[in-house]
Amino acid sequence: MITDPKQFETKIQLIRNLIWDEKTQITSISRFPYKSLDEEKIMKQYEVYFENFPVNLQPAQNEIGISAFSAEFFDAYYLVRHEKSQFYSDRWNEILTKRAAFDPKLHRDVVENFIEDLIHNLVYFYEKILANTKRQYYFACIDNELKILLCLLDRYKSIIADSKTQVEVFGSLQLTKKISDLLVEVLIEFIEYRISLLSESSFPKSPEKTFFEFPISSILWQGTQQELCELFVQLEKQGWINEVKSGDRKSIADSITKIFDLSNTKKSDNSDFRKSFYQIFKGELKGYNRIYPFLEKESYTKKFDKIQENKNNTHNSYPK
C-alpha cells in the first residue's frame, strides 16, 4: 500500500540533488503575477497546480525557470487561507517589496516546495485530484477511473521516451527535462499502483518501501510557531546545533514538527501546521544571507535571544 510520500523518497532525493546542484542553471521567467490578494483566484491556482494530473507539454528544458509569481505563491496562499482579511494590506506590501528585489537564484527551495506539495496531495488527497482531472475538457463524459489512468499512463510514458519534450507540470515554474521526468516517474508509479488495485486480473503491487517509520512521542509546544522557529535559529546561531543547509531545510522542518506537536498553533481546523511552520522556518534569502522577517518586527518580542554561545563548538560557521 502507498501510505506516505516517503515511499517515493529515492526519486524525491534525486530531484532535490538536481535542484540544489550548483551546476543546475537557474533563470528568471515571466508569468502572470497577482495584482492583488484575490482569495478565489489564489485557491483556484492551487487546485490547478497541486490538485490535478498535469498533461500539458513543452519543449525539453535544460535549466530551471522561476518566476516572481511562483516565489511568492505560497506566501499568498497561506495568507488568504489562514490570516484575517484585515491583515492583507500590510502583508501584500511585503510581497510587493520582495517582488521588486526578486532574484531567481535565491529561490531554489520554491521548486522543491512545489514538487513536494504535488506528491503530498497525490498520496493523501488522490480523490480530489481524480475529481478535478475528470472535470477537464479532455476527459469530458468519461467517468471511468481505470480508462483515465490508462490514458495518463500512456501519455506519461511516451513523453519520458521523447528527448525533445517534457510535461509542463507547473505553469509558473519551469523544470528541467531530468527533473520533470523524475516527477512523472513518481506519477507513473502511483498510477500503476492504482491500476493494479482496480484490475481484477492482478494483485496490487506498491512501490518498494525505502523507509521505516518508527512511532515517536511528540512534545506539545506551548508557544507560537514563530517562537519555535526563533528557538532553532538561536540554537544554530550560538553553535548548539549544526548549520541547517538550504537543501535540508524542508526535511529538518518536517522533523521538528514530528518532535513538537504544534496543534495549539493552528488558526483553523483545516490548517496544516507542518506546512505553515515551514513557511516561517525557511525564512528569506537577502543576498546570500538567510533572514527571518518576523524577528525584525517591533511587534515581536524575542524569547530566546539570551541563549549563550557554545564555545566548545568549532564546526559551526553561522555568521555572528
Residue 82's pLDDT band (cuts 50, 70, 90) = low
| CA-to-CA dists, residue 76 to 38, 41, 79, 125, angstroms | 9, 11, 5, 22
Q: What is the DSSP letter of 314?
A: -
pLDDT tens by residue, 132-174: 999 999 999 999 999 999 999 999 999 999 999 999 999 889 9
Cell of 276: 505553515
With both helix axes pointing from N to C terminus, report the angle between 177-198 and 9-20 in degrees, rounded to the nearest 10: 170
Mean per-residue pLDDT of the chain: 87
| CA-to-CA dists, residue 42 to 35, 74, 75, 112, 116, angstroms | 11, 9, 11, 20, 19
Q: How far apart are CA 181 and CA 166, in angstroms?
A: 7
Residue 77's pLDDT band (cuts 50, 70, 90) = confident
Q: How far apart are CA 116 and CA 44, in angstroms?
A: 19
Q: Which residue has the higher pLDDT, 85 or 265?
A: 265
Q: How far apart are CA 277 and CA 234, in angstroms?
A: 16
Range of lowest pLDDT (41-45, 113-117, 188-192, 236-240): 41-45
DSSP per position, 28-48: E------SS--HHHHHHHHHH
pLDDT mean over 84-104: 73
Q: Which residue has the higher pLDDT, 304 or 97?
A: 304
Q: Which residue has the higher pLDDT, 13 or 317?
A: 13
The answer to whether the beta carbons of residues 64 and 26 sit under 8 Å apart is yes
pLDDT in the model for residue 320:
45
pLDDT mean over 239-264: 89
**Number of residues written out for the chain:** 320
The answer to whether the beta carbons of residues 195 and 28 sit under 8 Å apart is no
Q: 44-48, 85-89, 93-97, 213-217: which has the highest mean pLDDT? A: 44-48
The answer to whether the beta carbons of residues 63 and 27 sit under 8 Å apart is yes
Range of lowest pLDDT (15-24, 178-187, 273-282): 273-282
Residue 28 has pLDDT above 50, yes or no: yes
Q: How many of the other CB atoms lie within 10 Å of CB of 195?
A: 17
Residue type (1 letter), 92:
W
Residue 194 has pLDDT above 90, yes or no: yes
pLDDT in the model for residue 272:
80
pLDDT in the model for residue 202:
58
Residue 20 has pLDDT above 70, yes or no: yes
pLDDT tens by residue, 283-304: 887 777 888 989 988 899 999 9
Q: How many of the other CB atoms lie within 10 Å of CB of 203?
A: 7
Q: 68-72, 86-90, 122-126, 310-314: which has the highest mean pLDDT? A: 122-126
Cell of 1: 500500500
pLDDT in the model for residue 41:
85
| CA-to-CA dists, residue 78 to 147, 228, 280, angstroms | 35, 18, 11
261, containing H or E segment: strand 260-261
pTM exceeds cut of 0.85: no
Q: How far apart are CA 190 and CA 267, in angstroms?
A: 32
pLDDT mean over 169-191: 95
Residue 317 has pLDDT above 70, yes or no: no
pLDDT tens by residue, 270-285: 678 888 898 899 888 7
